[in-house]
Structure 1
Amino acid sequence: MKIIAIHNTLWTHYKGDMYSRIYKRLEATNQYDFSVIHLATTEHGRSVLGNADLNEHQYPYEVLFDTDLEKVSSKSKTTHLLKRVIYHRPQLIYLNGYYDVSYWAVIVYAKTKGIKIIIDSESNEQSRERIWWKESLKKVILTQLDGYLCLGTKATEYLLKLGIKKEKILSTRNIGIANDKVSALYKTAYAQRNHTKERLNLPQFNFIYAGRFNPIKNLKMLIEAFGEISQTHPFSKQWGLILSGDGTEKEDLKALVQSKKLANIFFLPSCEWHEVPARYALADVAVLPSLFEPFGFLVNEALVYGMPIIVSNRCGSAYDLVKDGENGFVFEPTLKFELMEKMQTMMNQSDNLKTMGQKGQKLVEKFHPDAICEDIINAFDTVLKP
C-alpha cells in the first residue's frame, strides 16, 4: 500500500529525522511504500538560520519548488501538488497540517477518491483570533478526515472543541526532536564549555534564547527584563543573557541594548541546526518568552540537555513539558514583572539548577522520537485496517 507524506519545506531537520525513522521501520516490514513530497526547500524566516541538511533526509522524497515557500503562488503549489498526488495513487496521505490552500485541494481530491487522510494538528485556540464562520467551515472539513496526530495537550483540546471524535485522535505527543543526536552534540560541546565561555568572555551563569528574532518571540521584553534585573539583583554580574540566531528584529534589539547601555547581553550569529547544541552548552537556563508558539521545540531541546526552562504560557509546550516550580517556570508573556520574578528565582537558586534540569530530562523521555515514530505507524495501521 502506498503512503505519501506531504510537508511544507525540506529545511525542517527534525521532520527529516522523523520521516527517516518512519521509512526505515516500514522498509523493514515491507508493509507500506512510503515517500514524502515537500512543497519547497525552505521558507524566508528559516533561510537565515542555515541551509537544509540533506543528511537528515534518509527516505525517498521530492521537492516541488527549489526556493522559499513564500515565493510560490497558491495556484502553482496546488497544481503541482495535485499532479504528484494523482501520479502516486496513494491509499493514505499524511499531511503536516491544514493551513495551506494546496492542502485543502488535496483533502477535497482525496475524499472524492476514497483516499484516507491523517494530519498533524498544531493549532490551538490561542494561535489567532477566531472568526465564527471560518471555525464552522473548518469544523465541517476537518471532521471528514480519518486521523489526527496532535502537537500536545492544547492542540488536542482545540480539535475536541471543533467536534473531532476522541477516537480519531491517534496521538497527542507528535512533538519530538532528534533527542539522541542533539544530546551527543551537546555533550561534545559541553566538554569545551569553560574554554569557550572564557574565549567569549561570558559570565559564570547564563540564560539563553536560541531561534528566530521576530516580534512574536517577545525578545524586546526579555532584554528589558534582564536589564532591569541587572540594575538591582545582587548576583547580576554573575549572570548573562545569550541571544543566538537571526531575524528581522536583530538590529533593532542590538540598538536597544546599546541605547540602554546594558551589560552581559551577548548576540551570537545564526548557525546550522547541528551547531545549536553548542550554544546551549554555554548556558544554564533556557528562556522562551514568545507571545505565541504552537509548541516551542526550544523547550524539548533544553530539557534533553538537562537545563531548566522559563516558558511563556502562550506556548503549547508549557502544558506538556513544564511542571511549574519543578523543572522550570511558566509566566504570562505580556507581564514583564512575571518574567523578572521567574528569572530572579533562577538566579537565587543557582545551586539547584542541575536538579531541576534532571527532572526535565526524565519528563522529556516519553517524547523520544522512537516513541513518536511508533505512534505514527500505529496511526497508519489504524486508518488503513480493513
Structure 2
Amino acid sequence: MNNKYIFLQNIFTPYRISLFDDLHKKGFDFAVYYMRASEADRNWKIELEKIRHPYYLDRGFYRMVGRFHVHFNPRLILKLLRTKESEIILGGSWNDLNVLTLVLLKRLGLLKNRLHFWSEANYLTIGARNDNRYKAAMRRVVFDSAEGALIIPGKMSEITFAKWKTAPKTFIRFPNTIEEEKFTISEMELLRREENDLPVLLMPVRLQEQVKGIMNFLASICDENVKKCRILIAGDGPDKGAIARYVRDHGIEDHVTLLGHCDTEKMVSLYRSANVFVLPSFSDPSPLTLVEALIMKLPVLVSRRCGNHFEAVLDGANGYLFDPAEQDSVRKAFDALLSRAVQWRNMGEISSGLYRDNFSRQAVIDGFVQCLTRFTEAAS
C-alpha cells in the first residue's frame, strides 16, 4: 500500500528522526526513504529500534569526494517508480545523483508522481556563491521540473529562489527543528550563568575555517577583546591544528578553549553555563545550533550568512548580526553585545519567544501539515 507522501533523505539524523516521529504520531500518511544510514563525517549514534516513523533504508553506492557526499541508489529509485500514488518530497541537494535521476525520469514521463522539493537554499553559502551560468541553468531546470511546492525553512530561501529566477511556486515553510525535550534550562541554571567571572561565549562549530570563520572572528574582535571573555569552541574538524596554533601564537590559550566533539548531553550543559552564543559562519544554510541557543535563552551574535537569521535574530533585541567578511562589522556587533551584559537575561527571554513562535516542533508540524494538505487538495 502506498503512503500519501514519501520523503527522500540521505541519512538518519537525530533532529529529523524526532520530527518524523512526531509527524507520524499526528497521523500524517507518509514514509521516509533513506539512501544510507550514515555518512563519513557524521558522529551520530542512531538506535534504529527506537525509530517510530515508517521508513525504508537502502544501501546504495556512496563515496565522500572532498566535502561532497555522493549517493546513488538504483534500487531506491526503482522502488519509488513503483509507488504510483505517492507524492515525493525530494530532500537533500538539488544536484544529488538520485535527485537528478528522478528529475530526468519525470521529464521523460516515466515517473508519474507529483514532486516537491525540500530545500534549504541560501545564495550566501560557499557552494551557491561559486556560481556560473551553466550551473545556474541546470539548477533552474531541476527545480522547474517539480510541479509541487517548494518546502523551505524560511525567508532566506524565498530570497534565494527569487535570485535564482526559478519558476514561481507555492512556498511551504518547514524549518529545521531540534530534539527540544533534551534542551531545558531551569531558573537556578539561569541565575548560575550570571555568576561567571568572565562572560562565557559558546561557539558550536565544525573546525573548518573557510566555512565557519573561527579565526576570522577572533582576529576581527582582536586579542585584547578576546581576553575580556572566555570563548568555548565545541566541535572538531580539519582545521583543528591551525586554530590551535593561532590561539597559541596569539597568547590567548587562557581565554579560548577547543573542546572537540561534544555529544548532545555535553552541549546542553554548555548552553546552560554560557552567557552568549556565537556563530561566525561564512557559509551556513540553516544552522540548528542557532535554534538550540534560542530555546536555551541565550543572547546571540550571528553572521548574516546563516540562513535562519531572519527568523532567529531580531537585531539589537535578542542579539546582533554582522557581516563576517567585514572586520569592522564583526567588532561593532561584538562591542554592542558585550556592552549590554546587564540586559542579557531579557535578551535571552526574547530568544525564547522567537523559538516558541518560529521553531517549536508541534507548531512547525501543524503548520506544515495544514499547508501541504491544502496544496494537495487544491492541485488534485
* 1:63-105 C-alpha deviation (Å, 9 max, x unpaired): 323997628995x714132133235445211121423121121
C-alpha distance 287-264 of structure 1, shift in aligned 2 (>3 A): same
2:220 pairs with 1:219:
no
Q: How does 1:115-154 map to 2 (within 5 A)?
A: 115-127=113-125, 128-145=129-146, 146-154=148-156
**Which one has more relative contact order, counting CA pairs under 8 Å at least 6 apart?**
1
Q: Distance in 2 between matches of 1:107 and 1:158?
A: 21
How far apart are 1:219 and its partner, in Å? 0.7
Contact 1:306 1:357 in 2 (8 A): yes
Q: Distance in 2 between matches of 1:269 and 1:188?
A: 28
How far apart are 1:377 and its partner, in Å? 1.9
Which residue is equivalent to 1:254?
244
Corresponding residue to 1:61 among 50, 55, 58: 55
C-alpha distance 132-24 of structure 1, shift in aligned 2 (>3 A): same
C-alpha distance 218-141 of structure 1, shift in aligned 2 (>3 A): same
Tell me the SS of whatever aligns to 1:70: strand
Contact 1:246 1:270 in 2 (8 A): yes
Q: Which residue identity lines up with residue 238 of structure 2 in the other structure?
A: T
How far apart are 1:329 and its partner, in Å? 0.6
Contact 2:60 2:75 in 1 (8 A): no
Corresponding residue to 2:225 among 221, 230, 235: 230
How far apart are 1:106 and its partner, in Å? 1.9
Q: Which residue identity lines up with residue 257 of structure 1 in the other structure?
A: V
Contact 1:40 1:69 in 2 (8 A): no
Q: Distance in 1 between matches of 2:166 and 2:374?
A: 16
Q: Distance in 2 between matches of 1:321 and 1:73?
A: 28
Contact 2:202 2:233 in 1 (8 A): yes
Tell me the SS of whatever aligns to 2:205: strand
C-alpha distance 69-211 of structure 1, shift in aligned 2 (>3 A): farther
Q: Distance in 2 between matches of 1:38 and 1:356?
A: 39
Q: How does 1:281-300 map to 2 (within 5 A)?
A: 281-300=272-291
Which residue is equivalent to 1:14?
15
Q: Distance in 1 between matches of 2:266 and 2:59?
A: 27
How far apart are 1:274 and its partner, in Å? 4.0
Contact 2:62 2:72 in 1 (8 A): no
Contact 1:143 1:164 in 2 (8 A): yes
C-alpha distance 323-268 of structure 1, shift in aligned 2 (>3 A): same
Which residue is equivalent to 1:208?
202
- Unaligned runs of 5+ residues in structure 1 are none
Tell me the number of residue pairs that the alignment of Structure 1 and Structure 2 aligns. Answer: 364
Q: Distance in 1 between matches of 2:50 and 2:63?
A: 20
How far apart are 1:248 and its partner, in Å? 1.0
* 1:224-260 C-alpha deviation (Å, 9 max, x unpaired): 34552337xxxx45x2101011111112211211122
Q: Which residue identity lines up with residue 134 of structure 1 in the other structure?
A: K
2:33 pairs with 1:37:
yes
* 1:265-292 C-alpha deviation (Å, 9 max, x unpaired): 1221312234322111121111110001
2:160 pairs with 1:158:
yes
C-alpha distance 135-56 of structure 1, shift in aligned 2 (>3 A): farther
C-alpha distance 277-73 of structure 1, shift in aligned 2 (>3 A): closer
Q: Distance in 2 between matches of 1:188 and 1:118?
A: 43
Q: How does 1:229-378 map to 2 (within 5 A)?
A: 229-230=224-225, 236-237=227-228, 239-262=229-252, 263-367=254-358, 368-378=360-370
C-alpha distance 52-191 of structure 1, shift in aligned 2 (>3 A): farther
How far apart are 1:170 and its partner, in Å? 2.2
Contact 2:281 2:306 in 1 (8 A): yes
Which residue is equivalent to 1:52?
46
Q: Which residue identity lines up with residue 60 of structure 1 in the other structure?
A: P
C-alpha distance 9-105 of structure 1, shift in aligned 2 (>3 A): same
Output the aligned Cα RMSD.
3.0
C-alpha distance 191-290 of structure 1, shift in aligned 2 (>3 A): closer
Normalised by the length of structure 2, the TM-score is: 0.85
C-alpha distance 19-241 of structure 1, shift in aligned 2 (>3 A): same
2:107 pairs with 1:107:
no
**Greater fraction helix:** 1
Tell me the SS of whatever aligns to 1:258: helix
Tell me the SS of whatever aligns to 1:381: helix
How far apart are 1:310 and its partner, in Å? 0.7
Q: Distance in 1 between matches of 2:48 and 2:327?
A: 41
Tell me the SS of whatever aligns to 1:230: helix
Contact 2:217 2:324 in 1 (8 A): no
- Unaligned runs of 5+ residues in structure 2 are none
Normalised by the length of structure 1, the TM-score is: 0.84
